[in-house]
Amino acid sequence: MFIVRWILGRIILLLNFIFSPRGLKRDADTQANVDAQTKSMTLYQFAACPFCVKVRRQMKRLSLNVELRDAKTSPFKEELLSEGGSPKVPCLRIEKDNGEVQWMYESSDINAYLSERFVPQEQACQG
């Protein structure tokens, strides 16, 4: 089973590389503002997890520079479990301005949150 999962994981990564989405183009000031906002976010993920790939593709589409942490490695795995409450990935850690930390699981929820927060209004109206 390990070999099958490893092969499927490599296929997922290859297809993601070949069909990588284009990033959203913003002017320099707007992108700097977005980058400042994403400094408070961290994505706990596995490289070949299809749900993690789904979130990373959305981040690329939106040109978001979010820190990625491999939840298979010891310090991040324990951090995800002790602070987030579950070892499940993908998980987006969001530190709010008041210091409160939100741990968001589920790729669809994460993608919806990122779209709501970072899609420009004129593009959201177009569809």
pLDDT in tens, the chain (127 residues): 889 888 888 888 888 888 889 898 999 999 999 999 999 999 999 999 999 999 999 999 999 999 999 999 889 999 999 999 999 999 999 999 899 999 999 999 999 999 999 987 655 555 5
> Residues 124, 117: contact at Cβ < 8 Å?
no
- What CA dihedral angle connects 13, 83, 119 and 48, to 10 degrees? 0
User: Which CATH number belongs to the domain containing residue 101 in this structure?
Assistant: 3.40.30.10
Number of domains in the chain: 1
> Residues 57, 21: contact at Cβ < 8 Å?
yes
In a domain, 28, yes or no: no
In a domain, 20, yes or no: no
